[in-house]
Structure 1
């Protein structure tokens, strides 16, 4: 007790005054009490509290602070004006024009068109090699679990989804020319001879007319 009293008696009042602090009414910071009056005047004159985030900002930079941190943003995809605080959420989850992929064909398209596209795309069918049935794409997940062929272990893979190729038919055989009979052969020879004689007679008559 005596030692503590001696220590208190020997304490420096000026050191205690330097250690004491006061709260600035403008920026809410703890300021040494010896400087609080000067600081408060400077703070009130040069700083301003942002109404959106509560941060103390230099008065001359308040417009720049607002534009960079709080001003609404024009979404370049849907042209909607969105507050900056939720702009990242808007781009990733809410913008109707953000690009998303179809879960069935992985085709990329605007989110606003996804429901209609998947409604059609999901109704397309693929051939199940396990049970030999055509299954809608929207039903594949449940089918792969409930397919009887897979359950019985008759399939080697539960994920095979192969569309059967169309049957390729060979071209029809080319028939060989039918052989001519004797009568047909003789008629052909007579036709060739008559044609040759007619050509010779016509040539002779043409030469006589020239002379």
Structure 2
């Protein structure tokens, strides 16, 4: 008869676990006095460790890089993929920089050119893989970079092509610089004229 009561179970109303009927009353007394169900995850936690459970499992985490507060469940995603200040390596120069600056950096860095050792032409870094595939049939990126091997420039070797026309922003900056220099030179001459008039 005792064996039959051991096999029958009863659902604990506190922790919602199946408990052998013979231990149900004792279990419920212990369970309700010492354990509490976490409102966030439903896990039964000892009452004395309730705060510790919350802090280790559910408390929001402040990111030390970007100062955003992130739910603990999303912390690894934030740290690995979402944080704008996480360090990412530039694919062109292998320089580590914050993710927020990566796009702007790669726009500039990818426009740098390197000498293709196979055809002796200068190729933009961002176009290097396509160049190797299109002109050299090299799809695995094993073409040697001019960073790795810099042969002495032979006489008659190709030079970099002439730069494209300057952008309007560069023209404006140049105009401002020239104007500033003109004002500076003009003020020097004016000061000399004033000084010479005072001496007379």
Normalised TM-score (structure 2): 0.68
Question: What's the offset of the Cα at 1:93?
Answer: 1.0
Q: 2:100 aligns with which of 77, 91, 112?
A: 112
What secondary structure, in the 3-state scheme, does the structure 2 residue paired with 1:104 have? coil
**Bigger CA radius of gyration:** 1
Unpaired runs of 5+ residues, structure 1, are 1-12, 169-211
> Which contiguous aligned blocks of 4+ residues in structure 1 show a shift greater than 4 angstroms?
163-168
Range with greater deviation from structure 2 (23-32 or 35-44)? 35-44
What secondary structure, in the 3-state scheme, does the structure 1 residue paired with 2:64 have? coil
What secondary structure, in the 3-state scheme, does the structure 2 residue paired with 1:48 have? strand
- Provide the C-alpha distance between the structure 2 equivalents of 1:167 and 1:131, rounded to a whole number of angstroms: 14
Alignment of 1:17-28 (within 5 A): 17-28=5-16
Distance 1:126 1:43, change over 3 A: same
Question: What's the offset of the Cα at 1:164?
Answer: 5.6
What secondary structure, in the 3-state scheme, does the structure 2 residue paired with 1:116 have? helix
Normalised TM-score (structure 1): 0.65
What RMSD in Å do the two structures reach over aligned CA positions? 2.3
Match of residue 144 from structure 2:
160
Unpaired runs of 5+ residues, structure 2, are 156-200
Contact 2:118 2:143 in 1 (8 A): no
- Provide the C-alpha distance between the structure 2 equivalents of 1:70 and 1:127, rounded to a whole number of angstroms: 54
Aligned length: 150
